Every structure is written in C-alpha cells, then in structure tokens.
Amino acid sequence: MVQLTPDSGSEKAAKKLNASTMQRNKIFNPTGDDSLENRTIIKGNMTGLFNLNAVKYPWAKNMYQLMVGNFWVPEKVSGLGDDASMYKKLDAPEQRAYRGIISFLTFLDSLQTVNLPNFADYITSSEVNLLLAIQSFQEAIHSQSYTTILETVVDAKERDKIYYFWRDDKVLLERNRYIGELYQAFIDDDSDENFFQALVANYLLEGLYFYNGFAFFDTLVYNQKMIATGRMINYIRRDELSHVVLFANIMKEIRKEFPDMWDEAKLREMFRTAVEQEIKWSDHILGNEISGISKESTEQYTKFLANERLSYLKLDPEYPEVKKNPYKHLEAMADNNSEKTNFFESTVVNYTQSSSLKGTWDF
C-alpha cells in the first residue's frame, strides 16, 4: 500500500475536493464540537444538539423572536366570503391576473416548503437551523392560505386550472423551471458552487419573485376590491420579509467565513436573469390592463427591489439609475401598524410571544 506523505499530491487533491464539497449534517455526532469558537454557519462539526443557551449569531435570537411573534393562521382572516362576491365583479384582466398570480405564489411556497429542509441539512448552526424550521412551517401556512383563498373565492371548476396554470402557460413554466432546476442541481450534486447558486436562488425567490404579485393585490385593495385577499397577502408578505432578512444574514456569514465560496459575478448574473424573468412574467400577466400598474412601473419596481435586496448584502446597486419605488401610494398598506390601513384589520392578532421572551431563549 502506498503511504501518503503530508505533502503528497493525492492528499492535497483530497483536501481540495473536501473543501469544495458541502457536508450534510449527521443526525447524531458524538465527536461533534458545538463550541462557539469553532462553530460556523456551514461545514461545521455539530453534535446534533440544539443548545440555545450558546448562540454565536445574535441576529438569530432576534429573528426567532420576530418570526414566532408573527404567528397567524388563515382560518382567522375574515371576509373571504365577501371577496367571493367581489371576484365576480372584477373585469376580465383583473380575474386573469388574480388567478395567474395565485398560481405562481402557490408554486413558490410549495417549492419552499419542500426545499428548505435541504438547506437545513447543511447549516451547522443550531440557532439558524431553528429559524429554517420556523420558516418551513410558515411556508406551509402560506400554501394553506392560497388554498383557503381558492376554496372560498373561486368556483370549484376553476381551481385545478389555477393550480396547474403553469403547465399551459409557457412564460410561467419558464419561471418555475428556472428556480426548480437550480434547487434540483444542488440536490443532485452538493458542490459548493451549486449550494451557493441555490442559496442565491432562494434569496431571489423570497426577495424578488413575490412582490409584483403583492403589488397587484395591494392595488386591488387600494381600489376597494378583494379586501380579505389583500389582508391575507399582507400577513404573508410580513413573513416573507423576515425570510429575506434571514437569508441575507446567512449569505453575509458565508461571505465572511468562506470567502472562496462567494461569487459576486454569479450572484449579479442571477439577479439580472431573475429581474428579466420577473418583468417578463409580470408584463405577461398584468400588462397595461390593471389600473395603477403599467409596464413602466413594473420594470422600475422590479429593479428598485433588486437594488434594495443587494443593499441588504452590502453590495452596490445593479441598476443605479433606479432610485425610487413607483408604488409610494401603496407603502403604507404594507404596514400592519399604520393608521391608514383600516382595511387590513381583522381577527388575526400579533401574538405576544416575542415580547415575553425579553431577549432570552428561556421561556
């Protein structure tokens, strides 16, 4: 048998291979090391124990309080029966957009519910893994919410067509395939490169893909239409924004701890592709037929959001010429606590778990 010396080419190659391959967590690892000084966001050596009295990433504790405090369920959102009557009064472009956007959002949250555990398998910080578990639950609630909307608002004969709208709509199929294939590539080959791309894809999904759809529902509500749907979307958006912050923090920790994995050129390329696809899809489903939304506002809003999401990562804007949100009149509607948003009031309440934690994991 050949004995490898510390300087042998074979050993160097093995180390290089190991460095460029992700490591799936073990369920139970007796030789693991949970110490803060050796803990890393990925590629650590965790035991499998959730020791939440020893937290390396303080932002995770704050996010836990926020995400648990945002708990809600769709059954408590009132008024969908009124939306069922209002839906029949929408004009044809509004009905088509309503159906198409619900289909797209349903797909996105279904995909996230299934795929988030694949990310968690490689995160080696117990406090961050806990947040991913909460996010998975929230994505399932969102999927249930879209089902509740369809069951209440739309005739039964339309529902299957809405769920599988992407099978017959080439533009939506292209959108779904892009994100789905990036996730599948990492599942099939858990290389550093594929993990990074899947991470960016997740960030784009959470931070960019939902929001022209949200703007559509906000616009309906602004025009006093589909009030209950808009109310439910508002709670979903609140969750999604916390998911954006969660993955922005994960990505920043990876850039700090594993700089060789960080590929800004690839990230920007993916941002540009996502922006192009989001504009194409939104123009396709909304066009210039929805009052308050135009192709120009869609493009400006999508690029504005892309710049904002890049700023969360401490990166320069991709579209420096775009500096303003064209939907200023809708901003107050996104704030549950605004006095101007009476139509978002419902029996859903912000539970007080987060305030009761008082900055500690002990509860």
Q: Catalytic site residues?
A: 146
Q: Which residues contact 127 (CB under 8 A, 6 or more apart)?
A: 52, 55, 56, 57, 60, 61, 64
Give the CB-side neighbour count of residue 56, counting CA atoms within 13 A. 21
Q: CA Rg, the chain, in Å?
A: 22
Q: Which residues on neighbouring strands pair with residue 191, listed in sequence order?
A: 21
CB atoms under 10 Å from CB of 187, counted, come to 12
Cα angle 203, 209, 213 (rounded to 5 degrees) comes to 145
Backbone angles phi, psi at 191, to 5 degrees: -80, 165
The SS3 assignment for 58 reads helix
Question: Which tokens belong to 363?
Answer: 């509860």
- Tokens 């606590």 belong to 337
Distances (CA, A) of 260 to 179, 198, 257, 284: 24, 16, 9, 39
60 within 8 A of 131, measured Cβ to Cβ: yes
Nearest CA-CA partner of 211 in 245, 228, 234, 232: 234
Q: How far apart are CA 303 and CA 309, in angstroms?
A: 10
Question: Which tokens belong to 325?
Answer: 């949100």
Q: How far apart are CA 313 and CA 338, in angstroms?
A: 28
Q: What is the dihedral of CA 243, 246, 248, 251, to 10 degrees?
A: -130
Residues in the chain: 363
CB atoms under 10 Å from CB of 89, counted, come to 10
